[in-house]
Amino acid sequence: MASEKHPIDVEGDATTFADGEKPATSLPQANKKAQQVLAHSHDADEAMKAFESGETIELDEATNKRLLRTIDLHMLPLMCVVYGLNYLDKTTLSYASIMGIKKDIGLVGDNYQWLGSMFYFGYLGWEYPTNRLLQKLPLGKYSAFNIVMWGTILALHATVWNFGSAVGARFFLGVFEAAVTPGFTLLSSQWWTKKEQGARIGIWFSFNGMGQIFGGLVAYGINVGSEKHGSAIEPWKIVFLVNGLLTACLGVVFWFVIPDNQLNARWLSAKDRVLAVARVRVNQQGIGNKHFKMYQLKEALLDPMTWAFVFYALVADIPNGGISNFFSQLIVSFGYTPSQSLLYGTPGGAVEVVALIFCGWLGDRLGNRILVSMLGLCTALLGVILIVALPLGKSSGRLAGYYLTQASPTPFVAILSLIATNVAGYTKKTTIAALYLIGYCVGNIIGPQTFRPKDAPRYVPAEITIIACWGVCLLDLCFMYFWYRRCNRLKERERQAPGYVKIEGQEWLDLTDKENSEFVYAL
């Protein structure tokens, strides 16, 4: 490989080195773009502020481990709890469906299915605008605002009186929850290195399962308590109030604890803030850029991986939309009582927690998140096949099949971690995150419609749809794996080419993953 020299003067495409020598051959296009960006400092990443003094930053292993512990301690617990509530807030409607909401607000026909889908209409309509705001506004503060608002809207679900009012509440709940997943993905790419991101994203996403466990126990306790002792208001209203007010309170905590980036973290010293930025320079994607760049938007739209991600989210979340809104009713269809379904749904959350944490850890350890995540999807496929194949009388076996389906989010989370790790350029990253979650919304809108009232209690058409969707998703994951391997081989050839020059500090220039020849895709 050609020796690396640091350019000290950039003018257009011409580079002069400290010894006055010019490059012997023309530089690859990626390096030309880096020089152009370097010439315009307003295009650089927020991290450049940390290195304006020119001071040499040294980060030894002990310091790196200390910083990682501090970051994990301050960021992960709150992100985990909030994300668990994010899932619980969406599925509270499922608990309410067997606690009396259908009768009390006069739901008829397919009204309930549309309430399940309406959340995702709000999510879908606001997903791209909220991603632009996540880039433009302070990341931590904007995320906290949305948490407070969606908690408030959830609590207001207790005031709905008919189908129309419930539609409005569900729509605005989707609007404010649209920021949480892309916001947490950006926080993960900002604070942790590539090798750390898969496990951390797996951990905070796994709290979907913890939310299911917590929500099931709360709903069961409220339902049983109301049956024994009565209540001043309907039990389903109490569930909405408890979950909503808890979320809003945690949003206030989030505002004060989670910083917008390393440079304004209250719980880091001035020196540690700079070191926290330095430790993620290996990611080759900086910590944030406020400027919208049209060329990055175009690159995102032309990147085949963008559409592989979107296709996965759309197809995989058809099953998710159905199961998350109908799991309580599905368990009742196995032969259990409504109260039992609240309690018996909770072990499914434990399966999800174990699957996500294990696959996230193993994927990072083996350096292969995509193939490891397929284990979870294959487990879920086995579960739904059990539900379909076993006769109605085999309640325990069908319930065990439902539990296995809860391992299905492992590839979805792996792809979220790939967006954090493998997509560079802040405009490109926010665009792809938005498109991925738009696919997620469309899938979740379609999902509840596959569970038709006329198909109860077996819902065979919905179950066959789930099997078909997950089978196609396995093929899509194989494509992602082989495409990234091919891209890494091409980048290696670029770096080995005669005349290749690495630009000093290019990791802070907000280059896209395609522009930056030093960028290596994680598998």
- The CATH number covering residue 329 comes to 1.20.1250.20
Q: Residue 8: is its pLDDT beyond 50?
A: no
Contact 395, 336 (CB under 8 A): yes
Residue 359 to residue 195: CA distance in whole angstroms: 14
Q: What would the mean pLDDT of 464-472 be, rounded to a whole number?
A: 92
221 lies in some domain: yes
Give the H/E segment covering residue 383: helix 369-389
pTM over 0.85: no
Average pLDDT of the chain? 82
pLDDT reported for residue 362: 92
361 lies in some domain: yes
482 lies in some domain: yes
pLDDT reported for residue 27: 44
Number of structural domains found in the chain: 1
Residue 117 to residue 58: CA distance in whole angstroms: 51
Going from the C-alpha of 451 to that of each of 92, 120, 223, 322, 459, the distances in angstroms are 18, 16, 25, 7, 6
Q: Residue 437: is its pLDDT beyond 80?
A: yes
pLDDT reported for residue 432: 93
Going from the C-alpha of 419 to that of each of 2, 57, 120, 194, 340, the distances in angstroms are 31, 28, 21, 11, 39
Tokens of 253: 């905590």
Q: Residue 131: is its pLDDT beyond 60?
A: yes
pLDDT reported for residue 80: 93
The confidence band for 24, taking pLDDT boundaries of 50, 70 and 90, is very low
56 lies in some domain: no
- In this predicted structure, which of 217-231, 364-378, 404-418 has the lowest mean pLDDT? 217-231
23 lies in some domain: no
More confident of the two residues 505 and 178: 178
- pLDDT digits over 471-491, tens only? 999 999 999 999 999 999 998
DSSP of 127-167: HHHHHHHHHHS-HHHHHHHHHHHHHHHHHHGGG--SHHHHH
18 lies in some domain: no
Look-up of token digits 């990626």? 30
Beta bridge partners of residue 16, listed in sequence order: 9
476 lies in some domain: yes
The confidence band for 57, taking pLDDT boundaries of 50, 70 and 90, is low
Go through 400-427 and write b for each residue having 16 or more CB atoms within 10 A of its CB, e for each that does not.
bbbbbbbbbbbbbbbbbbbbbbbbbbbb
Range of the domain at 328: 61-489
Q: Residue 40: is its pLDDT beyond 70?
A: no
pLDDT reported for residue 9: 35
- pLDDT digits over 252-306, tens only? 999 999 999 888 899 999 888 888 888 888 777 767 677 788 889 999 999 999 9
509 lies in some domain: no
